[in-house]
């Protein structure tokens, strides 16, 4: 067990299995079956961090992916204090939701999804609480337990008037459900969910908010909506939404009190996604211009590395059919950088080598066709 992992056996004596989880998800925590399952089943605790997805939310992925619930995370010291508090409460009786929430959020920040799941199950085993259920569904999604996550989100749809719910929790849950549906390939339903989330945050997002990153909620869900439209090949609609994402992020970046490294990176991601949409719309000039802007900014701010290689690889992919020689030049630079930084045997280097070989073949075929064309 690593230093960052939480020993759940030491932290508490409450253990639940996947079976009890399904019982709670399907029947509700108030049912006798759910309570019995929570009390009597042994734990199957994975004490290691999954490490599958980062949690620098909401900007951890190309699509601005992430969950708004998990953004406001306590630092490591605060997590330790909250964990100690939870142990003390657990020895006395029921643990208050606020304590559980703080510990779970800290674990989510560390990407310790299974440990976060166990912590949230303390509150999930009690009376229904929309706040806990929404966070729990987020964790299930990150663990790719999609069926359980979907069932829980469907239950949350019927809890909009529940005392523990709110318009914001309802919107976040709708968006979270959309992300599950995206993984399941149900893009039309995902669009509806993202539209619900976007509607709420578009209305409230311009009010002064107490939390530092809440003003980005609408941009986040709009980016998810654009991604769903791209999956449906509705590139005109995707362009409309993604263009708005770029404009909103740029406007916030120009405000001195809101400027940050995270926001700058988010803008670069949004611009690259917009460039990809331009390629699909058959506007290569606009696409390449944006890609070059992104690449130059990355090289200025962080130098050559994983981010710049990703952009160059994307540009090469789009140029492969029309200008294979340029694709070769980009991929040669990527491969050279990866060999130096990662080594020849690294999976990323090998993958780039494969793309370079394909580009060289395309380039040779392109040149041969060109010469034949000139001959005739």
pLDDT by residue, tens only, the chain of 376 residues: 344 444 433 333 333 333 443 443 444 444 444 444 444 433 333 333 333 222 223 333 333 333 334 333 344 556 666 677 777 776 677 788 888 888 888 888 888 999 899 889 888 777 888 999 999 999 999 999 999 999 999 999 989 888 888 888 999 999 999 999 999 999 999 999 999 999 887 754 444 443 444 557 788 899 999 999 999 999 999 999 999 999 988 887 776 555 567 778 888 889 999 999 999 999 989 998 999 999 998 888 888 898 889 989 988 988 888 888 888 999 999 999 999 999 999 999 999 999 999 999 988 887 766 665 554 4
Tell me whether residue 175 is in a domain: no
48 domain-assigned: yes
In-domain check, residue 205 = no
Res 13: pLDDT: 36
Q: How far, in Å, are 4, 18, 225, 228, 272 from residue 59 at the CA level? A: 23, 30, 15, 17, 13
| Per-residue pLDDT, 263 | 78
Q: Is residue 193 part of a domain?
A: no
Residues 114 and 251 in one domain: no
Task: Classify the phi-psi angles of 185: left when phi > 0, otherwise alpha if psi is within -120 to 50, otherwise beta.
Answer: left
Residue 257 is predicted with a pLDDT of 58
CB 327 within 8 A of CB 359: yes
Q: Residue 275's domain spans which residues? A: 233-303
How many domains does the structure of the chain reveal? 3
Q: Is 180 within a domain?
A: no
- The verdict on 297 and 238 lying in the same domain is yes
What does the angle CA 311 – CA 314 – CA 316 come to, to the nearest 5 degrees?
110
Looking at the structure, tell me whether residues 63 and 100 fall in a common domain: yes
Q: Residue 83 in contact with residue 107, Cβ under 8 Å?
A: no
- The reply to whether 263 falls in a domain is yes
Q: Indicate whether 341 and 245 sit together in one domain.
A: no
Q: Could you tell me if 296 and 352 lie in one domain?
A: no
Same domain, 24 and 154: yes
346's CB contacts (< 8 A; 6+ apart) are 338
Do 268 and 338 sit in the same domain of this protein? no
Q: Which of 241, 273, 303 is the last residue of a domain?
A: 303
Q: Of 164, 196, 215, which closes a domain?
A: 164
The confidence score (pLDDT) of residue 374 equals 55
20 and 160 together in one domain: yes
Same domain, 25 and 143: yes
Same domain for 160 and 105? Answer: yes
Same domain, 151 and 238: no
Are 24 and 120 in a shared domain? Answer: yes
The length of the chain is 376
Domain boundary among 264, 284, 303: 303
* 217 located within any domain: no
Please name the helix (run of DSSP H) or strand (run of DSSP E) that holds residue 256, with its range, or none.
none
In a domain, residue 185? The reply is no
DSSP string, 131-166: HHHHHHHHHHHHTT-HHHHHHHHHHHHTTTTSTT--
What is the reported pLDDT for 238? 96
Q: What is the pLDDT of residue 321?
A: 82
């Amino acid at each position: 067990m690593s230093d960052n992992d939480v020993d759940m056996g030491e932290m508490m004596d409450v253990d639940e299995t996947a079976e009890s989880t399904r019982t709670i998800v399907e029947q509700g925590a108030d049912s006798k079956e759910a309570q019995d399952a929570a009390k009597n089943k042994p734990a199957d605790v994975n004490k290691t961090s999954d490490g599958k997805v980062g949690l620098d939310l909401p900007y951890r992925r190309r699509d601005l992916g992430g969950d708004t619930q998990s953004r406001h995370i306590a630092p490591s010291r605060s997590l330790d204090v909250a964990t100690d508090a939870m142990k003390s409460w657990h020895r006395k009786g029921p643990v208050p939701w606020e304590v559980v929430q703080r510990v779970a959020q800290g674990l989510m920040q560390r990407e310790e999804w299974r440990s976060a799941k166990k912590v949230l199950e303390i509150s999930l085993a009690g009376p229904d609480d929309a706040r806990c259920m929404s966070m729990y569904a987020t964790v299930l999604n990150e663990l790719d337990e999609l069926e359980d996550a979907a069932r829980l989100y469907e239950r949350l749809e019927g809890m909009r008037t529940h005392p523990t719910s709110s318009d914001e929790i309802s919107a976040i849950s709708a968006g979270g459900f959309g992300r599950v549906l995206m993984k399941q390939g149900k893009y039309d339903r995902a669009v509806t969910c993202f539209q619900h989330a976007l509607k709420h945050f578009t209305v409230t997002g311009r009010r002064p908010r107490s939390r530092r990153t809440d003003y980005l909620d609408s941009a986040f869900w709009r980016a998810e909506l654009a991604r769903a439209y791209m999956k449906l090949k509705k590139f005109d609609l995707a362009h409309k939404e993604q263009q708005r994402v770029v404009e909103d992020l740029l406007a916030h970046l120009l405000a001195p009190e809101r400027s940050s490294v995270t926001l700058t990176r988010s803008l670069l991601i949004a611009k690259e996604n917009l460039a990809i949409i331009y390629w699909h719309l058959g506007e290569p000039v606009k696409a390449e211009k944006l890609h070059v802007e992104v690449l130059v900014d990355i090289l200025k701010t962080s130098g050559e590395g994983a981010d710049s290689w990703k952009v160059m690889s994307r540009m090469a992919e789009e140029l492969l059919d029309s200008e294979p020689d340029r694709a070769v030049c980009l991929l040669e630079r990527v491969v050279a950088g990866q060999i130096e930084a990662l080594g020849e045997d690294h999976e990323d280097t090998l993958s780039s080598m494969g793309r370079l070989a394909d580009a060289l073949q395309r380039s040779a075929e392109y040149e041969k066709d060109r010469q034949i064309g000139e001959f005739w």
